[in-house]
Amino acid sequence: MKGAINKASVEKRATIFTKKEAEYALRQDLKVYENIVAKKVRVPITQNQFDTLVSHTYNTGGQMDCLSL
């Protein structure tokens, strides 16, 4: 599961994951981005807003500093 965000090695990219393994890897990756959002957001937000910010942070590689909240 190599991509712009996931820094897996080239060797890992060729690995075939089962659906269960892929979901586990994604959950592990998301923990990093959930922590970034939790540390940066200092006002109460809804779960939907939190999820959206985690998604954005994941898709931009953790560059939460570029957001104007």
Query: What is the Rg, in whole angstroms, of the alpha carbon atoms belonging to the chain?
Result: 14
pLDDT per position as a tens digit, 11-60:
556 778 899 999 999 999 999 999 999 999 999 999 999 999 999 999 88
Q: Is 38 left (phi over 0), alpha (psi -120 to 50) or beta?
A: alpha
Residue written as tokens 């897996």? Answer: 8
Cα–Cα distance between 41 and 28 in angstroms, integer? 21
- pTM for this entry: 0.67
Task: Check residue 4 and give its pLDDT.
Answer: 57
